[in-house]
Amino acid sequence: MYIFVEQWNARPEWLALSQQEREEYVSKVGQAIEELLKTGIAIMGFALNDSDTSHRADYRYFSVWTLPNKELVQQFEQAIEQSGWYQYFEQKNTRGELIPLDATLGDMINL
Q: How many domains does the chain have?
A: 1
Q: Indicate the pairing of strand 42-48 with strand 61-67.
A: antiparallel
Structure confidence by residue, pLDDT tens digits, 38-62? 999 999 999 999 999 999 999 999 9
Mean pLDDT of 82-111: 96
The CATH number linked to 71 is 3.30.70.1030
* Domain range for 36: 2-109
Question: What pTM does this model have?
Answer: 0.91
How confident is the prediction for the chain on average, in pLDDT? 96
Model pLDDT, residue 30: 93
Model pLDDT, residue 104: 96
